[in-house]
Amino acid sequence: MARFYSEIFDNIYIPSSPEIAVVPWRCSIYLSSVFFDKYIDKEEVSKWNQTAYIGSKIDSNELKVLHRQFEAVSTTLEDKKLYEKVATYLAKGKVIGWVQDRMEFGPRALGNRSILAVPSIENMQTQLNLKIKFREDFRPFAPVLKAETAQQYFQLPQNSNYMEFVVKLQENLRTALPHNFSQLTPKDKLNVPRSEFQAVIHTDYSARPQTITKDSNTKLYQLLDAVEQKTGHPILVNTSFNVRGEPIVCTALDAYACFMQTDMDVLVIGNEVFFKEEQSEKFANQFKNRTFSKD
């Protein structure tokens, strides 16, 4: 993760996958044009460079399998109603599994295969870690917020499309620390009130935010709008849709299995909304023990 230490650059671009994983992707573009005569022009490649959402989409047949094989129950809502309903659940402290459109390319969930929550809910960080992610309760989470309002919350000199930068919370949003804070143990520091947005900042007020625009992720942007209407702030916890030791969910079945394995409250796949209490208990043990069939 990069920090703005020296401010020697006015701007810097870091792709969604700044690692060796990008090499085979680049090679495939080259091989496609040279050996298979499928030339991809520079403008098209440039578009890919500006988005992380180049993975696979959810197939409608996958949802049919969920309903048929696992007796999954869902409600389909039109867009406006969907955002309003989900925002209401989030404002009440519910944890939402959010699956939309194409999967992200890179190591982080960026709003299409994400677990979402309101960061100002009391003990949300602990709840997410222990009941959803199955990991240590001190592990931090990142926020997602609208690019045009990001600087109201964080000392961010440029957009952070892929959670590239670690920056500090704005000073007016910080809660003063006790005089003995530096002497406390790391675990005790976590329990000290530091901000209304406790779930997405570290003990030094730093965070790794993701900023989005209406064009970069329309659905998540509209959800943030709806959340702002409910909570007063267009900001959410955005963590990868998975449990510890497993990859980010890709398919509808992956998402449903993770949803059923955890204490997640609601799953949203496209415009279909799955409530935990409405799902069949017949397959609960299969999901808990990961013995379900993907066929």
pTM score, whole prediction: 0.87
pLDDT tens for residues 57-103? 998 899 999 999 999 999 999 999 999 999 999 999 999 999 999 99
Task: Indicate the Cα dihedral angle 216, 218, 224, 225, nearest 10°.
Answer: 120
Query: Taken in order 99, 102, 103, 105, is the CA torsion positive or negative?
Result: negative
Q: Nearest 5°: CA angle at 105, between 74 and 89?
A: 30
pLDDT tens for residues 193-251? 999 999 999 999 999 999 999 999 999 999 999 999 999 999 999 999 999 889 999 99
CA distance 64 to 67: 5
The reported pLDDT for the residue numbered 2 is 45
Q: What are phi and psi of 291, to 5 degrees?
A: -110, 15
Q: In what order do the strands lie in the sheet with 206-207?
A: 2-3, 165-168, 206-207
The reported pLDDT for the residue numbered 137 is 79
What number of other Cβ atoms are within 10 A of residue 293's Cβ? 8
CA distance 114 to 60: 19
Characterize the bridge pairing of strands 75-76 and 272-275. Answer: antiparallel
Residue 100's DSSP bridge partners are: none
3-state secondary structure of 145: strand
Structure tokens at 26: 């680049």
Confidence of residue 287 (pLDDT cuts 50, 70, 90): confident
Task: Give me the count of residues in the chain.
Answer: 295
CA distance 43 to 41: 6
Q: In what order do the strands lie in the sheet with 266-269?
A: 75-76, 272-275, 266-269, 96-99, 113-117, 235-240, 142-146, 210-212
Q: Tell me the pLDDT of the chain averaged across its residues.
A: 88
> Would the pLDDT of 171 be above 90?
yes
Q: 56-289 belongs to which CATH class?
A: alpha beta
pLDDT tens for residues 238-286? 999 999 889 999 999 999 999 999 999 999 999 999 999 999 988 888 8
CA distance 193 to 172: 14
Q: Where are the domains of the chain?
A: 17-50, 56-289
